[in-house]
Amino acid sequence: MNLIESFSVSGNTVKIYYDDNPLNPREESDNLSTMVCFHRRYNLGDRHNYRSQDFSGWDEFKARIVADHNPVVMLPLYLMDHSGLTISNNLEPFRALDPAGWDWGMGGFCFVSRKHFVQEFGRKKLTPKMREKIHNIVKSEIEQYDQYLQGEVYGYVVEDENGEHLDSCWGFFGLDYAREQAQAAAENACPRDLTPDLFAAAG
């Protein structure tokens, strides 16, 4: 395990590690969105039956998705492949790093079909407020997948003052979130050598 940092909370020691075997959020999570991608070397996003050779370009592919799924929200996906993969619905950071576009380009689309919208929210009418909510959910799912691609998935171990294991958990996307959860776990952790006394007191 690759240790990132350690700190003390309530007399316990928290150790933050990279998760060396993270679960793919596009396979293991119940996503609202559907992510369809084409890439010559990587299998990205969700499984789908579209073939890149059936389309003359991204505009034609987008039109097919619209015809097939009638999306309530649809965002473009851009992929940068330079010392690792990163994906985003915003091309500006990629353009700033690589104005010539040598290492990045269009990668696909992320959308919520109208059918899935009705199933998930139990309504047919899409208000501006609801559209904004779905838009933000789709963005967060893209960001989570980007964290997975970049290896920004973490776990923590909580130990007492003697180095005894108290708690651990893995699969946190984003370092800040991992820290928050680790701190809460350390604050609530019960040192093992006190457990018998607590049970005795309770009895």
User: Tens digit of pLDDT for each residue in 17-74?
Assistant: 999 999 999 998 899 999 999 988 889 999 999 999 999 999 999 999 999 999 999 9
pLDDT score for 46: 96
Number of domains in the chain: 2
Does residue 48 share a domain with residue 135? yes
Does residue 196 share a domain with residue 138? no
Of all helices (H) and strands (E), which one includes residue 176? helix 175-188
Does residue 140 share a domain with residue 169? no
Q: Which of residues 132, 150, 168 is at a domain's end?
A: 150
CA-CA-CA-CA dihedral for 25, 31, 37, 41, to nearest 10: 10
Does residue 15 share a domain with residue 39? no
Does residue 123 share a domain with residue 180? no
Task: Return the DSSP state at 22.
Answer: P
Does residue 131 share a domain with residue 196? no
pTM: 0.85
Q: Which of residues 109, 127, 150 is at a domain's end?
A: 150
- Give the tokens for residue 64: 């097919």
Range of the domain at 174: 3-22+153-202
Q: What does the buried/exposed string (b/e) look like for 111-149 if buried means 16 or more CB atoms within 10 Å of the residue's CB?
A: bbbeebbeeebeeeeeeeeeeeebbebbbebbbbbbbbb
pLDDT score for 190: 65
pLDDT score for 191: 58
Does residue 117 share a domain with residue 47? yes
Separation between Cα atoms, residue 177 and residue 196, nearest integer Å: 32
Does residue 107 share a domain with residue 13? no
pLDDT score for 1: 79
pLDDT score for 81: 85
Does residue 126 share a domain with residue 49? yes
Does residue 83 share a domain with residue 143? yes
pLDDT score for 92: 83
Residues of the chain with pLDDT under 70: 190-203
Does residue 163 share a domain with residue 77? no
Residues near 3 by beta carbon (within 8 Å), at least 6 away in sequence: 15, 16, 17
pLDDT score for 102: 76
